[in-house]
Structure 1
Amino acid sequence: MGLISEVLLLPFAPARGSAWAIRQVLREAERIYYDPATVRAELARLEEQLQAGEITEEEFDQREDELLDRLEIALHHGDTTGNGT
Structure 2
Amino acid sequence: MGLITGLLTLPLAPVRGTIWVAEQVLEEAERQHYDPARIRRELEDVEELRRSGEITDEQAERLEDDLVERLMESRRRTTTRKGT
CA distance in 1, matches of 2:50, 2:2: 61
Separation of aligned partners in 2, 1:51 and 1:40: 17
For the residue of structure 1 that corresponds to 2:78, the secondary structure is coil
Q: Which runs of 5+ in 2 are unaligned?
A: 80-84
| TM-score, normalization by structure 1 | 0.88
Per-residue CA distance 1:3-62 (angstroms, 9 max, x = gap): 211111101111110110010010001001001000000000010000000001111111
Counterpart in the other structure of 1:28: 28
- Unaligned runs of 5+ residues in structure 1 are 80-85
- Give the aligned partner of residue 64 of structure 2: 64
Aligned to 1:53: 53
What's the CA shift for 1:77?
A: 1.6
Structure 2 partner of 1:44: 44
Q: TM-score, normalised by structure 2?
A: 0.89
Q: Which residue does the alignment assign to 2:2?
A: 2
The higher-RCO structure (CA 8 Å, 6+ apart) is: 1
Residue 77 of structure 1 aligns to a residue whose secondary structure is helix
The letter for the 2-side match of 1:73 is E
Q: Which runs of 4+ in 1 moved over 4 A?
A: none
1:18 equivalenced with 2:18 (yes/no)? yes
* Paired residue total: 79
- Cα distance in 2 for partners of 1:19, 1:77 equals 23
Q: Please give the root-mean-square deviation of Cα atoms over the aligned residues, in Å.
A: 1.1
Amino acid in structure 2 at the alignment position of 1:66:
D
